[in-house]
Amino acid sequence: MDRLTAMRVFVEVAGAGSQTAAADRLDMSRAMVSRYLAEMEAWLGARLFQRTTRRLSLTDAGEACLARSRAVLEQIGDLECNAGQRSAEPRGLIRVTAAMSFGQYHLAGAIADYVARYPETQVDLLMLDRTVNLVEERIDLAIRITTELDPALVARRLGPCRSVLCATPAYLAQHGAPQTPDELAQHNCLTYAQFGRGNWPLTHGGEPLPTAVRGNISANEATVLLQATLAHAGISMQPTYLAAPHLRSGALVTVLPDYPPFEMSIYGVYTSRRFMPPTLRTLLDFLAARIGPEPYWDAAVA
């Protein structure tokens, strides 16, 4: 049996978490998918998946095999692209998802410029503040800001996502500006309901310094906390892609600049490198060039 095809089947099943979903994506019968997986396990002499009635999960051997299989398929994909795909003009529909705040403030403008450059493309944007199952919701590309990636998916780093602690001058005039992280306990800290609630991941000199905080407002969406901060409600931890214009105008000021929050990354996440369509490839290239290692919005914070 073709081991290269077996490797591709394995990667698709790992990404989909289901043989049935992988079979649909590969235009292959489920029986054939099972046969390729069995061949792959026999070839490697190891069990690659833990099988339950609801979902497949990778074993330790499967995790190691997935990384190496993707590396092999990526090299093959590069050969295929050089053989012809890179000359193809991007066209057709691509479905993209991102967090509401990043989508509204930065992705929408980037997509407008992308479709202007490639007029034969169409982009369907899905803005959600939850993790989307790319296979089940037929998403081609997810823009995710995180430090932890799903090993079953493929990711390309587009740039850093830095954050700042900030408040309005009016709030600090009334309550004082904290000089050390411990003094945050005396302030109303506005927190994310699903991230960092009660504990902010600060750093000092490059070393982690998690800091306990508390406050009377939390929210699951960054722009809500931004508006509460601008309304003088307290101190919040904001991504610089949101806070930058307000820091530049003076509406917000940085708090504890020597204790910046832990830096995250912006990734373009997708399911497989296999036969990557020109639309997805060019959009990833476009976003990586637009954001880059020093995002344009951070110039306002420096």
With beta carbons less than 8 A apart as the criterion, state whether 92 and 120 touch: yes
Question: What is the Cα–Cα distance from 31 to 236, expressed in whole angstroms?
Answer: 53
DSSP element (H, E) containing 292: none
- Note the pLDDT of residue 211: 95
Two tokens at 243?
A: 């806070």
* DSSP tally for the chain: helices H, then strands E: 10, 14
Structural domains of the chain sorted by starting position, each given as residue range(s) with its CATH number in brackets? 3-83 (1.10.10.10), 90-159+264-293 (3.40.190.10), 163-255 (3.40.190.10)
Q: Are 39 and 6 in contact (CB under 8 A)?
A: yes
Q: Is pLDDT at 300 greater than 70 in this prediction?
A: no
- How many C-beta neighbours within 10 Å does residue 76 have? 14
Q: Residue 59: what residue type? A: T
Summarised one tens digit per residue, pLDDT across range 190-226 is 999 876 568 999 999 999 999 999 999 999 889 999 9
Prediction pTM value: 0.72
Spell out the alpha helix ranges (H) of 17-50.
Answer: 19-26, 30-44
Q: Distance between CA 15 and CA 99 in Å, rounded?
A: 21
Give residue-wise pLDDT tens across range 221-262.
899 999 999 999 999 999 999 999 999 999 999 999 999 999
The number of beta carbons lying within 10 Å of the beta carbon of residue 238 is 25
Report the C-alpha gap between 153 and 97 in whole angstroms: 15
Contacts of 83 (CB under 8 A, 6+ apart): none
How, if at all, do strands 264-270 and 189-192 pair?
Answer: unpaired
DSSP assignment letter at 125? E
Residues in contact with 76: Cβ distance below 8 Å, sequence separation at least 6, in sequence order? 4
Interatomic CA distance for residues 4 and 22, integer angstroms: 16
What distance in Å separates the CA atoms of residue 164 and residue 258, rounded to the nearest whole number? 10
Q: What is the pLDDT of residues 4-55, one digit of tens each?
A: 788 888 888 888 788 888 887 777 778 778 888 888 888 888 899 887 666 7
Average pLDDT over residues 272-285: 83
Structure tokens given for 39: 């061949």
Place of tokens 């945050």: 184
